[in-house]
């Protein structure tokens, strides 16, 4: 199969709802592309697809609002989870009229204010549309982002010449957590965003953002480093999504009208995510030892992952490979190996 075949396959499932069960994200279009990118065969992709639709109980979209959304009113319907169909129609028209690049430029910064909604999946699905050169999937990603949009602060996302580095901001968050500023957070929550919202609803978090803007010297590379180290310090579902979200952000960064604002907004989201997992100390002592030093050592691991039915594992492996290629940091190779390790001989 080539990329055109994958686009056709992904688009053939556009009739499915973007969520299933208790508002969980439909990962099918993203996982199909990730499988293609990591070298899965047509037979493996077909087997995964059939199993995933059955196992997740994916169903056709029922919510089909006839409301006509425009550039002037679509923001009035952000985060409702009732207007995905209308948002898809809107962004499809925008791309048809303006092209995907201009559409992204016009809307990314607005959508970034709600990037935490549904665990960053609007951002991530949009990025997959870009990676697959699939304008229809870009529109669906933007629509899902708009429909699940959830703002976590009214603090303006700005960078400052006197601001903190990203690492220092995380250190401040860690210290605040150690001081008990977030001691009353619930011990459990139904999903990733609920945990993030529990953090963002506290005065301590809003004060942290208000009093500690990020430095205007912060870079995308800083976010890559902190997301990786956060995952290494505490490998769980939340930090997994943090790492794949930064991979997704890398594809949108150069398309945003205001790149500084994009980074500032992601900084706010990253701090809330970090605090939601207990603000583990991030340092070299918390990093697991890396045994894999070259991609050639991963042949058996890739065989396992290509046959996996775990959509999150497939997507994490793809993101880790792409981040390794961008940074040459072998810690990403270790992540790939660790995903497959339980099933390796």
User: 154 lies in a domain?
Assistant: no
> What DSSP state is assigned to residue 288?
P
Enter the tokens of residue 110.
């607005």
Do 32 and 134 fall into the same domain?
A: yes
Tell me the mean pLDDT per 10 residues along the chain, length 345: 96 97 96 98 98 98 91 97 96 98 98 97 98 98 98 96 97 97 87 96 97 98 97 95 98 96 98 97 77 96 98 98 97 97 93
Cα distances (angstroms) measured from residue 220 to each of 156, 200, 215, 223: 19, 23, 13, 5
User: 125 lies in a domain?
Assistant: yes
User: 152 lies in a domain?
Assistant: no
Do 280 and 310 fall into the same domain?
A: no
Do 94 and 52 fall into the same domain?
A: yes
Secondary structure class of 214 (helix, strand, coil): strand
- Sequence-distant (6+) residues with CB within 8 A of 62 are 17
Q: Please report the pLDDT score of residue 319 as a whole number.
A: 98
Residue written as token pair 């706010």: 268
User: 242 lies in a domain?
Assistant: yes
User: How far apart, in whole angstroms, are the C-alpha atoms of residue 88 and residue 315?
Assistant: 24
Do 24 and 137 fall into the same domain?
A: yes
> What does 115-172 look like in DSSP terms, one character per residue?
TTTTTTHHHHHHHHHHHTT-HHHHHHHHHHHHHT------S---EETT-B-HHHHHHH
For residue 20, give the H/E element and its range: strand 19-20
Rounded to two decimals, what is the model's pTM?
0.97
Do 90 and 216 fall into the same domain?
A: no
Secondary structure class of 23 (helix, strand, coil): coil
The range of the structural domain enclosing residue 199 comes to 159-285
Q: Please report the pLDDT score of residue 113 as a whole number.
A: 97
Do 79 and 140 fall into the same domain?
A: yes
Looking at the DSSP bridge assignments, the partners of residue 19 are 25
Do 293 and 277 fall into the same domain?
A: no
Listed residues 147, 179, 211: the one ending a domain: 147
Bridging pattern class, strands 24-25 and 19-20:
antiparallel
Enter the tokens of residue 339.
């995903």
Do 17 and 143 fall into the same domain?
A: yes
Q: Please report the pLDDT score of residue 286 as a whole number.
A: 67
Listed residues 264, 285, 306: the one ending a domain: 285
Listed residues 285, 303, 325: the one ending a domain: 285
Q: Please report the pLDDT score of residue 45 as a whole number.
A: 98
**Exposed, middle or buried: residue 61 (CB in 10 Å: 0-12, 13-18, 19+)?**
middle
User: 98 lies in a domain?
Assistant: yes
Enter the tokens of residue 9.
């396959």
Do 11 and 127 fall into the same domain?
A: yes
Please say whether the beta carbons of 323 and 329 come within 8 A.
yes
User: 130 lies in a domain?
Assistant: yes
- Sequence-distant (6+) residues with CB within 8 A of 193 are 116, 117, 118, 119, 150
User: How far apart, in whole angstroms, are the C-alpha atoms of residue 108 and residue 253?
Assistant: 9
Do 85 and 163 fall into the same domain?
A: no
User: How far apart, in whole angstroms, are the C-alpha atoms of residue 14 and residue 270?
Assistant: 30
Do 275 and 203 fall into the same domain?
A: yes
For residue 24, give the H/E element and its range: strand 24-25
Closest to 1 (Cα-Cα) out of 101, 12, 246: 12
User: How far apart, in whole angstroms, are the C-alpha atoms of residue 73 and residue 62?
Assistant: 23
Do 111 and 215 fall into the same domain?
A: no
Q: Please report the pLDDT score of residue 188 as a whole number.
A: 80
Q: Please report the pLDDT score of residue 284 as a whole number.
A: 67
Number of domains in the chain: 3
Bridging pattern class, strands 214-215 and 159-160:
parallel
Residue written as token pair 């039915």: 309
């Amino acid at each position: 199969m080539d990329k055109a075949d994958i686009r056709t396959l992904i688009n053939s499932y556009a009739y499915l709802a973007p969520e299933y069960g208790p508002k969980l994200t439909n990962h099918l279009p993203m996982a199909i592309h990730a499988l293609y990118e990591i070298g899965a065969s047509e037979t493996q992709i077909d087997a995964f697809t059939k199993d995933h639709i059955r196992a997740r109980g994916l169903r056709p979209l029922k919510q089909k609002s006839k409301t006509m959304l425009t550039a002037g009113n679509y923001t009035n319907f952000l985060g409702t989870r009732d207007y995905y169909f209308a948002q898809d129609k809107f962004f499809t028209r925008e791309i048809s009229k303006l092209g995907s690049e201009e559409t992204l430029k016009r809307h990314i910064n607005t959508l970034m204010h709600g990037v935490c909604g549904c665990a960053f999946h609007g951002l991530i699905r949009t990025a997959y549309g870009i990676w697959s050169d699939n304008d229809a999937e870009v529109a669906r990603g933007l629509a899902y982002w708009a429909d699940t949009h959830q703002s976590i602060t009214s603090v303006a996302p700005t960078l400052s010449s006197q601001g903190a580095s990203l690492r220092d901001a995380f250190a401040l968050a860690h210290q605040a957590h150690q001081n008990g500023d977030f001691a009353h957070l619930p011990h459990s929550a139904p999903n990733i965003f609920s945990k993030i919202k529990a953090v963002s609803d506290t005065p301590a978090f809003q004060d942290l953002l208000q009093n500690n803007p990020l430095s205007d010297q912060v870079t995308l590379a800083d976010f890559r480093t902190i997301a990786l180290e956060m995952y290494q310090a505490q490998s769980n579902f939340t930090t997994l999504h943090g790492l794949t979200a930064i991979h997704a952000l890398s594809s949108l960064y150069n398309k945003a009208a205001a790149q500084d604002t994009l980074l500032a907004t992601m900084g706010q989201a990253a701090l809330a995510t970090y605090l939601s997992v207990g603000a583990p100390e991030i340092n070299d002592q918390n990093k697991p030892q890396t045994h894999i030093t070259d991609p050639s050592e991963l042949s058996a691991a890739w065989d396992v992952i290509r046959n996996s039915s775990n959509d999150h594992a497939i997507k994490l492996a793809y993101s880790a490979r792409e981040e390794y290629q961008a940074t040459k940091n072998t810690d990403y190779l270790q992540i790939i190996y660790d995903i497959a390790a339980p099933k390796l001989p």
